[in-house]
Amino acid sequence: MVRFVRTTVALAAAVLFASACVPPPPAPPPEGFDQLYLTRDGADHFVFQLAENSLTVTSPASNRGSNSRALLWRVDAPQTVDQQSCATFTDSGLPNQEGVVLRVRTDHGVGRGITVTKNIWYGYTHAFNVHVWDTSRPADAGLLTKVSGHFMTEALGPYPWRLCARAVGARVTFKVWPASQPTPAWDDPIHARSTTLPPGWTAPGRPGIYVGHVPAGGRVGFSDLSTSPPG
Protein backbone atom coordinates (compact mmCIF):
# COMPACT_ATOMS: atom_id res chain seq x y z
CA MET A 1 0.00 0.00 0.00
CA VAL A 2 2.82 2.38 0.82
CA ARG A 3 4.49 1.55 -2.48
CA PHE A 4 1.23 2.31 -4.35
CA VAL A 5 0.88 5.69 -2.63
CA ARG A 6 4.45 6.65 -3.42
CA THR A 7 4.05 5.60 -7.04
CA THR A 8 0.79 7.53 -7.36
CA VAL A 9 2.32 10.67 -5.87
CA ALA A 10 5.36 10.38 -8.12
CA LEU A 11 3.14 9.89 -11.18
CA ALA A 12 1.00 12.89 -10.26
CA ALA A 13 4.10 15.03 -9.80
CA ALA A 14 5.43 13.92 -13.19
CA VAL A 15 2.12 14.81 -14.87
CA LEU A 16 2.09 18.22 -13.20
CA PHE A 17 5.68 18.84 -14.23
CA ALA A 18 4.95 17.83 -17.82
CA SER A 19 1.90 20.08 -17.89
CA ALA A 20 3.96 22.97 -16.56
CA CYS A 21 6.44 22.50 -19.42
CA VAL A 22 3.79 22.90 -22.12
CA PRO A 23 3.95 26.53 -23.29
CA PRO A 24 0.75 28.55 -23.18
CA PRO A 25 -0.98 29.25 -26.48
CA PRO A 26 0.35 32.27 -28.39
CA ALA A 27 -1.54 35.52 -28.76
CA PRO A 28 -4.48 35.08 -31.16
CA PRO A 29 -4.16 36.30 -34.75
CA PRO A 30 -6.21 39.24 -36.07
CA GLU A 31 -9.87 38.53 -36.78
CA GLY A 32 -10.30 36.70 -40.06
CA PHE A 33 -6.77 35.26 -39.99
CA ASP A 34 -5.13 32.04 -38.84
CA GLN A 35 -1.55 31.45 -37.76
CA LEU A 36 0.97 28.65 -37.48
CA TYR A 37 4.25 28.66 -35.57
CA LEU A 38 6.84 26.70 -37.50
CA THR A 39 9.25 26.99 -34.58
CA ARG A 40 8.72 28.55 -31.16
CA ASP A 41 11.15 29.40 -28.37
CA GLY A 42 9.33 28.18 -25.25
CA ALA A 43 6.42 30.52 -24.53
CA ASP A 44 7.63 33.19 -26.96
CA HIS A 45 5.11 34.54 -29.45
CA PHE A 46 4.43 37.46 -31.78
CA VAL A 47 1.65 40.02 -31.72
CA PHE A 48 0.10 40.74 -35.12
CA GLN A 49 -1.59 44.13 -35.58
CA LEU A 50 -3.45 44.71 -38.82
CA ALA A 51 -4.49 48.20 -39.97
CA GLU A 52 -6.17 48.31 -43.37
CA ASN A 53 -3.54 46.69 -45.62
CA SER A 54 -0.53 47.05 -43.31
CA LEU A 55 0.75 44.61 -40.74
CA THR A 56 2.99 45.24 -37.73
CA VAL A 57 4.55 42.26 -35.98
CA THR A 58 6.01 42.84 -32.53
CA SER A 59 7.92 40.56 -30.20
CA PRO A 60 6.91 41.24 -26.57
CA ALA A 61 9.63 42.27 -24.15
CA SER A 62 8.84 39.10 -22.16
CA ASN A 63 10.12 36.89 -24.98
CA ARG A 64 13.34 35.04 -24.23
CA GLY A 65 14.75 34.04 -27.63
CA SER A 66 14.69 34.89 -31.33
CA ASN A 67 14.15 31.53 -32.99
CA SER A 68 10.37 31.70 -33.37
CA ARG A 69 8.97 31.62 -36.90
CA ALA A 70 5.31 32.12 -37.78
CA LEU A 71 2.92 32.16 -40.73
CA LEU A 72 -0.22 34.27 -41.05
CA TRP A 73 -2.97 33.90 -43.66
CA ARG A 74 -6.61 34.82 -44.33
CA VAL A 75 -9.00 32.03 -43.41
CA ASP A 76 -11.38 32.95 -46.22
CA ALA A 77 -8.71 32.69 -48.93
CA PRO A 78 -9.49 29.79 -51.29
CA GLN A 79 -7.26 26.74 -51.16
CA THR A 80 -5.56 26.55 -54.55
CA VAL A 81 -2.50 25.04 -56.20
CA ASP A 82 -1.59 28.08 -58.30
CA GLN A 83 -1.39 31.33 -56.32
CA GLN A 84 0.77 34.30 -55.40
CA SER A 85 1.53 36.40 -52.33
CA CYS A 86 3.07 39.89 -52.23
CA ALA A 87 4.21 42.22 -49.46
CA THR A 88 6.35 45.31 -48.97
CA PHE A 89 8.92 45.18 -46.16
CA THR A 90 8.70 48.62 -44.58
CA ASP A 91 11.26 48.45 -41.78
CA SER A 92 13.55 45.81 -40.39
CA GLY A 93 16.96 45.02 -38.96
CA LEU A 94 18.86 41.89 -38.10
CA PRO A 95 17.95 39.27 -37.06
CA ASN A 96 14.39 40.07 -38.23
CA GLN A 97 13.32 37.95 -41.19
CA GLU A 98 10.45 38.76 -43.56
CA GLY A 99 8.91 36.66 -46.29
CA VAL A 100 5.79 35.14 -47.77
CA VAL A 101 4.26 31.67 -47.67
CA LEU A 102 2.54 29.68 -50.41
CA ARG A 103 0.25 26.66 -50.14
CA VAL A 104 0.14 26.66 -46.34
CA ARG A 105 -2.24 24.05 -44.97
CA THR A 106 -2.88 22.65 -41.51
CA ASP A 107 -4.42 19.44 -40.24
CA HIS A 108 -4.83 18.86 -36.50
CA GLY A 109 -2.02 21.26 -35.68
CA VAL A 110 0.39 19.90 -38.29
CA GLY A 111 1.32 22.38 -41.00
CA ARG A 112 3.02 22.34 -44.41
CA GLY A 113 3.98 25.27 -46.59
CA ILE A 114 6.46 26.83 -48.99
CA THR A 115 8.27 29.98 -47.89
CA VAL A 116 10.27 32.59 -49.76
CA THR A 117 12.28 34.59 -47.24
CA LYS A 118 15.00 37.17 -46.89
CA ASN A 119 18.28 35.57 -45.87
CA ILE A 120 19.74 36.48 -42.47
CA TRP A 121 22.62 33.98 -42.17
CA TYR A 122 25.95 35.75 -41.60
CA GLY A 123 24.12 39.08 -41.78
CA TYR A 124 23.81 38.90 -45.56
CA THR A 125 20.28 40.14 -46.29
CA HIS A 126 20.57 40.62 -50.06
CA ALA A 127 19.75 36.96 -50.73
CA PHE A 128 16.45 35.12 -50.78
CA ASN A 129 15.76 31.47 -50.02
CA VAL A 130 12.99 29.02 -50.91
CA HIS A 131 12.15 26.40 -48.27
CA VAL A 132 9.50 23.75 -47.71
CA TRP A 133 8.23 23.08 -44.17
CA ASP A 134 6.55 20.08 -42.56
CA THR A 135 5.91 20.49 -38.83
CA SER A 136 5.17 16.78 -38.40
CA ARG A 137 8.90 16.20 -38.73
CA PRO A 138 11.62 16.94 -36.17
CA ALA A 139 14.08 19.78 -36.68
CA ASP A 140 16.86 17.39 -37.69
CA ALA A 141 14.76 15.30 -40.10
CA GLY A 142 12.94 17.45 -42.58
CA LEU A 143 11.08 20.13 -40.63
CA LEU A 144 12.85 22.65 -42.86
CA THR A 145 14.25 21.77 -46.28
CA LYS A 146 16.03 24.34 -48.41
CA VAL A 147 15.03 24.17 -52.06
CA SER A 148 17.20 26.98 -53.41
CA GLY A 149 19.04 30.18 -52.50
CA HIS A 150 19.55 33.25 -54.69
CA PHE A 151 21.84 36.27 -54.41
CA MET A 152 19.80 39.38 -55.29
CA THR A 153 22.29 42.18 -54.64
CA GLU A 154 21.75 43.84 -58.02
CA ALA A 155 17.99 43.82 -57.52
CA LEU A 156 17.85 45.65 -54.20
CA GLY A 157 18.56 49.04 -52.67
CA PRO A 158 17.38 50.87 -49.55
CA TYR A 159 14.17 49.82 -47.81
CA PRO A 160 11.27 49.47 -48.39
CA TRP A 161 11.57 46.29 -50.46
CA ARG A 162 8.76 44.59 -52.36
CA LEU A 163 8.52 40.79 -52.70
CA CYS A 164 6.08 38.82 -54.83
CA ALA A 165 6.19 35.02 -55.05
CA ARG A 166 3.98 32.63 -56.96
CA ALA A 167 3.52 28.88 -57.18
CA VAL A 168 2.40 27.35 -60.47
CA GLY A 169 2.45 23.57 -60.51
CA ALA A 170 5.89 22.42 -59.40
CA ARG A 171 7.53 25.81 -60.00
CA VAL A 172 8.02 28.68 -57.57
CA THR A 173 9.02 32.06 -58.98
CA PHE A 174 9.71 35.22 -57.00
CA LYS A 175 10.78 38.77 -57.73
CA VAL A 176 12.17 41.46 -55.40
CA TRP A 177 12.78 45.15 -55.99
CA PRO A 178 12.89 48.52 -54.19
CA ALA A 179 9.27 49.59 -53.70
CA SER A 180 10.12 53.01 -55.14
CA GLN A 181 10.85 51.44 -58.54
CA PRO A 182 8.47 50.03 -61.20
CA THR A 183 7.29 46.44 -60.82
CA PRO A 184 9.61 44.10 -62.77
CA ALA A 185 8.41 41.27 -64.98
CA TRP A 186 8.37 37.68 -63.74
CA ASP A 187 11.18 36.84 -66.15
CA ASP A 188 13.32 39.88 -65.37
CA PRO A 189 16.94 38.62 -65.31
CA ILE A 190 17.96 40.86 -62.39
CA HIS A 191 14.91 40.90 -60.13
CA ALA A 192 13.30 37.46 -60.64
CA ARG A 193 14.32 33.87 -59.96
CA SER A 194 12.59 30.50 -60.39
CA THR A 195 13.06 27.03 -58.91
CA THR A 196 11.48 23.57 -59.05
CA LEU A 197 9.92 22.09 -55.91
CA PRO A 198 10.70 18.59 -54.65
CA PRO A 199 8.07 15.92 -55.35
CA GLY A 200 4.98 16.07 -53.14
CA TRP A 201 4.61 19.84 -52.81
CA THR A 202 1.82 20.62 -55.27
CA ALA A 203 -1.11 20.08 -52.88
CA PRO A 204 -3.48 23.07 -52.56
CA GLY A 205 -3.17 25.53 -49.71
CA ARG A 206 -3.46 29.23 -48.90
CA PRO A 207 -1.02 32.12 -49.48
CA GLY A 208 0.11 34.44 -46.70
CA ILE A 209 2.97 36.08 -44.79
CA TYR A 210 6.06 34.72 -43.02
CA VAL A 211 7.94 36.39 -40.16
CA GLY A 212 10.72 35.04 -37.99
CA HIS A 213 13.60 35.66 -35.58
CA VAL A 214 12.24 38.91 -34.13
CA PRO A 215 14.05 39.49 -30.79
CA ALA A 216 12.31 40.66 -27.62
CA GLY A 217 11.12 44.22 -28.04
CA GLY A 218 11.63 44.12 -31.80
CA ARG A 219 9.17 44.81 -34.60
CA VAL A 220 8.70 44.12 -38.30
CA GLY A 221 6.49 46.07 -40.70
CA PHE A 222 4.66 44.96 -43.85
CA SER A 223 2.46 46.99 -46.19
CA ASP A 224 0.53 46.52 -49.44
CA LEU A 225 -0.31 42.91 -48.62
CA SER A 226 -1.97 41.01 -51.42
CA THR A 227 -2.78 37.41 -52.32
CA SER A 228 -4.31 36.32 -55.60
CA PRO A 229 -4.16 33.82 -58.44
CA PRO A 230 -0.75 34.02 -60.16
CA GLY A 231 -0.40 37.10 -62.32
Structural domains for the chain = 27-228 (2.60.120.200)
Beta strands, E only, the chain: 33-39, 47-51, 54-58, 69-74, 83-91, 97-107, 110-118, 127-134, 144-151, 161-168, 171-178, 192-196, 206-212, 219-228
Amino acid at 9: V
The pLDDT value recorded for residue 21 is 62
Total count of residues recorded for the chain: 231
Local mean pLDDT, 10-residue blocks, the chain (231 residues): 38 40 84 95 96 94 95 96 97 92 93 97 94 92 94 96 98 98 98 97 97 96 94 80
The pLDDT value recorded for residue 19 is 43
The pLDDT value recorded for residue 146 is 97
- Residue 159 has, within 13 A of its CA and on its CB side, a CA count of 14
Q: pTM to 2 decimals?
A: 0.89
Amino acid at 69: R
The pLDDT value recorded for residue 109 is 80
d(CA 175, CA 9): 60
d(CA 162, CA 128): 12
